[in-house]
Chain A
């Protein structure tokens, strides 16, 4: 018998699946990958493909919320394939996911996440809590871990959002590839250029003119640009600032009012004044 396009469940309990579960029920999302423990061991002579996290993503809290910045370079091995990649993605009006890792998986994850939040709001008639959102991303990463073990699809994101509940504040998290989430007090960086960035942010936060949380917007943008430029200096996979092509990093700010994408002209002005 052909099923109706709307399989209305007469015993509907009111408890909705989460969005990934809905997609799986309809066969629109592959099931969580299964970890293959002998995958690589069976092919000892073959070099395992190294999952690259070739990028630099950083985020830190400053006086106006959380600043999230990412370079624009996308690479495949030694080749630069794209110089205008968007790695800082808006998930909803107050949440940003910044990605280091395999773009195909990362963008798909961002799409699932975006729809998950909306689906929850529409079905449950309330906004998902910040903890719920943070867990949702963690779950996606965990479901993807089987692919990571097989050497494809590693994603290591940063998640920044604004919690407008009883104690309104900006919240910042980074993840590992297995889905563990870590909330940070001041800053996070991920991707191949992140060691340099972490050094700079640690230094600025402790011995700079003022701690990161006290920076004005211009000062924060300046530090973000300097950090990415430093990362690009030694890491070929990080684009930094393309001075001749006038391609600047993507910078977004999350605050109580929502997300602001800084226009290129503003970034260019700060760059000219304090970095170039």
Chain B
């Protein structure tokens, strides 16, 4: 099948459609930077969706629990070994996502005979000052989206109002709309 370019493109498109359908019912997750750290919010508490990765890094994820778990473990392993061999200050979300997780997700998505990762993830890193906070959204096909004050995703991929470089969502409004589930990473 993949010997023919057209078939490959078609397979990828099918795969994308399939994953989007699977992810469509996932709860929204938002991360907002504020004075003392980063606040993660989501709806529903039946399954944990917000996780600690390292000293200054947390993630929220929707998708298949098994896939989320493998990606989560990989992120924690990488951050922990880096933090151990060097120092906690040398663990960087940028490097973690761009050079370690993304390539793996990309190849899993494009190798159409293997299973892709059914996961949409939102990472946040607390900076020394709030201007240095970093928000990274990572899709199943490794498309990335970098923000500096707040980020999130809603039920439908086409409707991502809860994000912006200028922190579109005031914390009070976000709180009013979402029940607080999850945690915050504090500025040390």
Residue ranges of A at the interface with B (Cβ–Cβ < 8 Å): 4-6, 8-9, 12, 14, 16, 19, 22-23, 26, 28, 111-112, 115, 118-119, 121-123, 125
Q: For chain B residues 54-97, which have a beta carbon within 8 Å of chain A? A: 54, 66, 69-71, 73-74, 76-78, 80-81, 83-85
Closest 5 CB pairs of A and B: A6-B74, A6-B100, A6-B104, A115-B84, A5-B100
A5 to chain B: which residues have CB within 8 Å? 78, 99-100, 103
B38 within 8 A of A: no
The chain A residue with its CB closest to the CB of B99 is A5
What bracket does the count of chain B residues touching chain A fall in? 20 to 34
Query: Are A6 and B101 within 8 A (Cβ)?
Result: yes
Query: Are B74 and A22 within 8 A (Cβ)?
Result: no
Query: Are A122 and B76 within 8 A (Cβ)?
Result: yes
Query: Are B80 and A22 within 8 A (Cβ)?
Result: yes
Q: Which of A6, A14, A111 contacts B84 (CB 8 A)?
A: A111
B48 within 8 A of A: yes
Most B C-beta atoms less than 10 A away, residue of A8, A16, A119:
A8
Query: Are B53 and A122 within 8 A (Cβ)?
Result: yes
The chain B residue with its CB closest to the CB of A123 is B76
Q: Which of A14, A111, A121 contacts B52 (CB 8 A)?
A: A121
Query: Are A122 and B52 within 8 A (Cβ)?
Result: yes
The chain A residue with its CB closest to the CB of B101 is A6
A123 to chain B: which residues have CB within 8 Å? 73, 76
A-B contacts counted at CB < 8 A amount to 54
B8 within 8 A of A: no
Given that A14-B69, A125-B51 are known contacts, is A8 also in contact with B80, CB under 8 Å in the complex? no
Q: Which of A4, A12, A23 contacts B70 (CB 8 A)?
A: A12
Query: Are B76 and A119 within 8 A (Cβ)?
Result: yes
Q: Which of A4, A12, A115 contacts B80 (CB 8 A)?
A: A115
For the complex, what is the distance from the CA of A151 to the CA of B95, rounded to whole Å?
A: 41
Given that A6-B100, A6-B101, A125-B48 are known contacts, is A23 also in contact with B78, CB under 8 Å in the complex? no
For the complex, what is the distance from the CA of A54 to the CA of B19, rounded to whole Å?
A: 62
Q: How far in angstroms is the closest Cβ of chain B from A105?
A: 16
For the complex, what is the distance from the CA of A102 to the CA of B152, rounded to whole Å?
A: 49
Q: For chain B residues 2-61, which have a beta carbon within 8 Å of chain A? A: 48, 51-54
For the complex, what is the distance from the CA of A121 to the CA of B51, rounded to whole Å?
A: 10
* 15 intermolecular pairs with C-beta atoms under 8 Å apart: A4-B104, A5-B78, A6-B74, A6-B78, A6-B100, A6-B103, A8-B71, A8-B74, A19-B84, A28-B85, A112-B84, A115-B84, A118-B80, A119-B76, A122-B51
Query: Are B74 and A23 within 8 A (Cβ)?
Result: no
Q: How far in angstroms is the closest Cβ of chain A from B177?
A: 26
Q: How far in angstroms is the closest Cβ of chain A from B125?
A: 15
For the complex, what is the distance from the CA of A83 to the CA of B85, rounded to whole Å?
A: 27
Query: Are A9 and B52 within 8 A (Cβ)?
Result: no
Query: Are A26 and B81 within 8 A (Cβ)?
Result: yes
The chain B residue with its CB closest to the CB of A125 is B48
Q: How far in angstroms is the closest Cβ of chain B from A71?
A: 27
Q: How far in angstroms is the closest Cβ of chain B from A53?
A: 26
Given that A5-B99, A28-B85 are known contacts, is A122 also in contact with B80, CB under 8 Å in the complex? yes
Query: Are A19 and B78 within 8 A (Cβ)?
Result: no
For the complex, what is the distance from the CA of A26 to the CA of B80, rounded to whole Å?
A: 12
A115 to chain B: which residues have CB within 8 Å? 80, 83-84
For the complex, what is the distance from the CA of A123 to the CA of B70, rounded to whole Å?
A: 11
Q: How far in angstroms is the closest Cβ of chain B from A109?
A: 13
A12 to chain B: which residues have CB within 8 Å? 66, 69-70, 73
Q: How far in angstroms is the closest Cβ of chain A from B65?
A: 10
The chain B residue with its CB closest to the CB of A17 is B77
For the complex, what is the distance from the CA of A125 to the CA of B72, rounded to whole Å?
A: 11
For the complex, what is the distance from the CA of A58 to the CA of B81, rounded to whole Å?
A: 32
For the complex, what is the distance from the CA of A92 to the CA of B119, rounded to whole Å?
A: 32
